[in-house]
Amino acid sequence: MKLRYFIVVLLVIIVASCKNSEKNSVAGKWKIVEFRMTLDGKENVSTTKNLTDAGAVWDLNFAEDGKFRQDFNMSNPDMKMKMEAGTWKSTDDSLFINISVEQAGIDLKYAYSISNDTLVLNLEHSPSKNKIVSKFIRK
């Protein structure tokens, strides 16, 4: 009886820890909910309402096999949809994305965190103190 109880408790712990690691994984699909850009000391914030009202889209897809794709319309005034693909990998608190654009690779290094199915990406240009902080929720 004690052995059966021990096995049940052990299985519950294993399943719970697997679910927690999945929730803290970058892998999956994400959509933008907040965008903060600081340029020359001036901060501009777009909230979920601002982004929705403007028709802004920025979806990220981090595949388990290291492939990356983003679909977005926030890079130009006409809000035309674009798609970029590449690869990704993460370490403790850094996320590395390589995007193939016009036969060239662009390497991006973000500081990142995940909490309550919210992914926060922080891209900072050190010499100028300009930065972009983007928040995404899991789709």
Q: How confident is the model at residue 96 (pLDDT cuts 50, 70, 90)?
A: very high
pLDDT tens track for 6-49:
343 333 344 433 333 444 699 999 999 999 999 888 999 999 99
Quote the CA–CA distance of 123 and 74 in Å, as a whole number: 16
95 touches 112 (CB < 8 A): yes
Indicate the fold that domain 27-138 takes in CATH.
Answer: Lipocalin (2.40.128)
C-alpha dist (Å) from residue 64 to 11, 26, 28, 96, 114: 25, 9, 8, 14, 17
pLDDT tens track for 85-94:
999 999 988 9
pLDDT at 114: 96
pLDDT at 54: 92
pLDDT at 7: 42
Check whether 66 has a pLDDT greater than 50. Answer: yes
Check whether 72 has a pLDDT greater than 90. Answer: yes
pLDDT tens track for 98-132:
998 877 889 999 999 999 999 999 998 777 778 99
> What's the angle, vertex CA 41, arms to CA 117 and CA 76, rounded to 5?
65
